[in-house]
Amino acid sequence: MTQILEIRDLKALARRRVPKLFFDYADSGAWTEGTYRANEEDFAGIKLRQRVLVDMSDRSLETTMIGQKVSMPVALAPTGLTGMQHADGEMLAAQAAEAFGVPFTLSTMSICSIEDVASVTTKPFWFQLYVMREREFVLDLIDRAKAAKCSALVMTLDLQILGQRHKDLRNGLSAPPRLTPKHLWMMATRPGWCMKMLGTNRRTFRNIVGHAKSVADLSSLQAWTNEQFDPQLSWKDVEWIKERWGGPLILKGILDPEDAKMAAKTGADAIIVSNHGGRQLDGAHSSISMLPRIVEAVGDQIEVHLDGGIRSGQDVLKAIALGAKGTYIGRPFLYGLGALGKEGVTLALDIIRKEMDTTMALCGKRRITEVGRDIIAE
Ligand code: GLV
DSSP 79-119: -TTGGGTSTTHHHHHHHHHHHHT--BEE-TT-SS-HHHHHH
| Residue 152 falls inside a structural domain | yes
pLDDT digits (tens, 9 = 90+) for 283-297: 999 999 999 999 999
Residue 196 lies in a domain: yes
Predicted confidence at residue 351, as pLDDT, reads 98
**Which pLDDT does position 8 carry in this prediction?**
98
Rg (CA), the chain: 20
Residue whose C-alpha is closest to residue 94's, from 65, 66, 115, 68 = 115
* 80 alpha carbon – ligand 1 mean position (Å): 6
For residues 28, 171, 157, 41, the Cα torsion angle rounded to the nearest 10 degrees is 10
φ/ψ of residue 26, rounded to 5: -70, -40
Give a yes or no: residue 2 inside a domain: no
pLDDT confidence of residue 210: 84
How far the first Cα of the chain sits from its last, in Å, is 40
Domain count, the chain: 1
Q: Which atom of ligand 1 is nearest to the CA of 107?
A: 2
In a domain, 210, yes or no: yes
What is the structure's pLDDT at 1?
64
Q: CA angle, 115 as apex, 253 and 337 as ends, to 5°?
A: 60
Is 236 inside any structural domain? yes
Per the structure, the complete domain to which residue 359 belongs is given by: 7-375
* Cβ of 337 less than 6 Å from ligand 1: no
How high is the pLDDT of residue 218?
64
Q: Output the domain CATH number for residue 365.
A: 3.20.20.70
pTM flag (> 0.95): yes
In this structure, is residue 253 part of a structural domain? yes
Q: Is 235 among the domain residues?
A: yes
Residue 1 lies in a domain: no
Atom of ligand 1 at shortest range from CA of 279: 4
Flag residues of the chain having pLDDT under 50: none
pLDDT for the residue 36: 98
- Residue 279 CB less than 6 A away from ligand 1: yes
